[in-house]
Homo-oligomer: A and B are copies of this chain.
Amino acid sequence: MSLSKMLHDIGEKGLVERILSRITLGPRHVLPKGDDAVAIEFMGKLVVSTDMLVESTDVPPGMNMESVGWKALTMVVSDLASKGAIPILYLISLGLPRSMTLEQFEAFWDGLEKAARCYGGTIAGGDTNEAQEVVVSCVGIGSAERVVPRSGARVGDVLATTGLFGRSAAGLNALLRGVEDVDESLKRAVLKPMARFREGVILAKYATSCIDSSDGLAVSLHELAKQSGVGFEVTMPPVDGVAKKFAEKHGLDVFDLVFYGGEEYELVFTIGRNDLEAVRKALALVNGELIEIGRVVPRSEGITVFWDGERIPLECKGWDHFKK
């Protein structure tokens, strides 16, 4: 069958057959593939998350369908990772336009599969529908030994992240404005983001609180602070050097890129100072990093950042769907 065909040529039945031909279930699965539901034997702490990716709001120019698949799965793995969970299975609910080509669909599914191979866990089932634009709702189900809440940060804890910030916002800016001469790492942050799935499991043993930074660093810090009833002092902002250079060249505000951007899949967490070295070492074993950015302070002190020699309050803003 030629790949230039579209979904309305093969119909839903044909599409479901294609999807089923690409699904292989593991031994823990109780039902065969293609049944009404997915079923497994499970014992322990079950962690579930779902994220929707919508073409008109989440897919910038230059992002192909393989990237869309990769990103959809990454979003949900990042949520699981922030709670210390290892992905076990995924369900993929799709809304697709009838004019989508099979080539586009296969590329999309390639992206999902590559991500699942990278992060672990089985794409086990889902649902297909016709819609006016591409909508991917990805469900991730994972298992955790210890589930890390957003609410456990204690005054005196170290505030840290798994990476530097600013790349996604810079990369998105470059894609939206069609800037060609841009460092690969910035584009990659948008088109092939990595969830910190290995780091999450390690952090779960030590972290007092954890959140993923997909809504932006500022929003993540405000959420952790609110849920934990504490404040933060960010003394060493985690500025990505390449993003900074891009910002300076193109007249963008570095602070904005770092704190108020979004779609950055780092983990933001707090740990006791005594655990700092142990966590650093454990993270190094998976090529991960602990970047200390500040400390937990009493709620009354709010959230402040040392920037250019000044101490400034951090606003709670980032990407907001719906807002004008």
Asked if A235 is an interface residue, CB under 8 A from chain B, the answer is no
Residues of chain B contacted by A12 (CB below 8 angstroms): 320-323
The stretch of A90-98, A107-115, A168-176, A306-314 in contact with B is A90-98
Kindly report which residue of chain B lies nearest to residue A82, judged by CB atoms: B36
Nearest CB on B from A185, distance (A): 25
Q: Mark A247-267, 1 if CB is under 8 A from B, else 0.
A: 000000000000000000000
Nearest CB on B from A83, distance (A): 5
Asked if A44 is an interface residue, CB under 8 A from chain B, the answer is yes
Asked if A37 is an interface residue, CB under 8 A from chain B, the answer is yes
Q: Are A52 and B127 in contact (CB under 8 A)?
A: yes
Q: Are B50 and A42 in contact (CB under 8 A)?
A: no
Residues of chain B contacted by A131 (CB below 8 angstroms): 52, 54, 56-57, 133, 135
- Given the known interface contacts A31-B147, A128-B321, A150-B35, the answer about A44 and B41 at a Cβ–Cβ threshold of 8 Å is yes
Q: Mark A136-150, 1 if CB is under 8 A from B, else 0.
A: 010111101001011
Q: Mark A91-130, 1 if CB is under 8 A from B, else 0.
A: 1011110100000000000000000000000001111111
The stretch of A3-11, A60-68, A276-284, A292-300 in contact with B is A3-11
Nearest CB on B from A103, distance (A): 15
